[in-house]
Structure 1
Amino acid sequence: MQLAFVLVEPKVPENVGAAARALCTMGFGELWLVNSDLHTRPEAHWLAHGSDHILDSARIFPDLAAVRNSVDLLMGTSAKPRHQRQHWHAPGQLREALASKGASVATAALVFGREDRGLSNEELALCDLLTGIPMKVAYPSLNLAQSVMLYAWELSGLAAAAETQTEYADSNRLGALRGRLETLLPELNTPPEGKLSQWVFERLPLLTERDIGFVHTLCSNIERVLVGRKSRTDKPGP
């Protein structure tokens, strides 16, 4: 699994440089930025300290929707559960969830919001799951680079595991399963805005690698039944 750390419209170049240093220290190398060029500023490189290569190779996206289309699993950071989500993962729980995916997730992205206002509700709605750092204060807040460092430390074992991961068929990945369900559920008279669809897509990121393969098989069986029904319906009468 390739794990990218995404900074959405960061305001302070020093935070970008410090985030790059945190990733390098913990064995990660993918820094993505949304609508920002702060990684090119001298101030960012001042704090990078040996991780300039991460800044130099940072990927830039116009918006979070473009990131969504580039990964199998999108995880948003939030100070508290939001957007009617029932599941909110602390960093340690997030690590367990990612470890259970095996090779079914080729690329995952962990998204950090703006220093002053975080991620918008619309951006959080794009994420498969939400994560946050439990704190002992009423209005929790950490510096952006501190948050990146904490998650990079907690998830550091995944960086080593990615080096030995075997290849996995594209059709069995989590992103492919999401696409199949987005097509299949409406055919079962389950609208995307309905409660069942919301329930399915909220729990989809929680599946283990084995569960993902099982649901792929289930989708294949349902698709065959639907195709059979359509063929019988399309046959001309006697």
Structure 2
Amino acid sequence: MEQSQFCIVLVEPARAANVGAVARAMKTTGFTQLRIVNSQSHLEEEANWVAHGATELLEQAVVYPTLDAALEGVDFSIATTARKRGAARSYWTPREVAEHLQLSQFSKPNVAIVFGRESSGLSNDELARCDCWSYMPLVQSYPSLNLAQAVMVYCYELGQLFLQQEKQAIQAQAPFQALKNKIADLAGDLDIQTTEKLYEWMQDRLNYCDDRDVRMLHLLLKDVYKKL
């Protein structure tokens, strides 16, 4: 199973230190794609100081002139806001975002989390350009989290999704690896050398097996070993 691809989008960040802290938060939680709208603050020296070990994310960040451009190629975009707006829209918490993406990772493989300006957040027009809205219900409405803190919260929740995907991928690969090992053992029992074309052909064709094929071949090998 392929992992979903996530990118963090910062709209017009003004403070280099915040962008550096965002890069550091991303690095520690497994995120690598940083998109920046209409700002060069990530190139300032202060951003590198704060990034501390995550400067490659700043170097690889892609700058776009508009939010629309930054969202090209994105299947599902999530706009973050510090408070609920007047529009009649549903709002997801960071955890609800992660839960939704876990259920829809195949239909929404490329996801963007969009963060607004430090001073004013996202405009209503920018919010409207995103598929869904999210905010963090806090005990106190003010002071709100700063940009880097907000990114860290979302990265942490979605980072848990990364871990779940990796675990599922390992579980999905285990029967396939076991099948390859069984076939290698069977070839050894039948004195088939690994350099023979038959063995090479078998190993190559295994790569085309889907989950059902793998299960059926496990059953077939079980019967073969019984006969042996």
TM-score scaled by structure 2? 0.68
1:134 to 137, 143, 149: 137
CA contact (8 A) 1:79 1:140 kept: no
Higher mean C-alpha displacement, 154-163 vs 117-126: 154-163
CA contact (8 A) 1:28 1:159 kept: no
Cα offset, 1:40, TM superposition: 1.1
Equivalent in the alignment of 1:86: 89
Give yes or no for the alignment of 1:109 onto 2:77.
no
Amino acid at match of 1:31: L
Where structure 2 has 5 or more consecutive residues not aligned to the other structure, the ranges are 173-228
CA contact (8 A) 2:36 2:70 kept: no
Equivalent in the alignment of 2:178: none
For 1:36-51, list aligned pairs within 5 A.
36-51=39-54
Aligned length: 166
CA distance in 2, matches of 1:25, 1:148: 12
CA contact (8 A) 1:68 1:126 kept: no
Equivalent in the alignment of 1:8: 11
- SS of the aligned residue for 1:84 comes to coil
Cα offset, 1:155, TM superposition: 1.0
Task: Encode CA deviations 1:30-83: one digit per residue, 9 max, x unaligned.
Answer: 111001111111100001111011111111111111123320001100122326
2:124 to 115, 121, 124: 121
2:24 to 21, 40, 43: 21
Amino acid at match of 2:30: G
Equivalent in the alignment of 2:154: 151
Amino acid at match of 2:108: V
Task: Encode CA deviations 1:126-178: one digit per residue, 9 max, x unaligned.
Answer: 01000011112244521101111111111102334566499xxxxxxxxxxxx
- SS of the aligned residue for 1:25 comes to helix
Q: 1:27 to 1:72 in 2, by over 3 A?
A: same
Amino acid at match of 2:28: T
Cα offset, 1:104, TM superposition: 1.4
Q: Which runs of 4+ in 1 moved over 6 A?
A: none
- Give me the CA root mean square deviation: 1.9
CA distance in 1, matches of 2:67, 2:83: 20
Cα offset, 1:125, TM superposition: 0.3
- SS of the aligned residue for 1:137 comes to coil
Amino acid at match of 2:152: M
CA distance in 2, matches of 1:154, 1:106: 17
Give yes or no for the alignment of 1:34 onto 2:37.
yes
Rg larger in 1 or in 2? 2
CA distance in 1, matches of 2:136, 2:21: 19
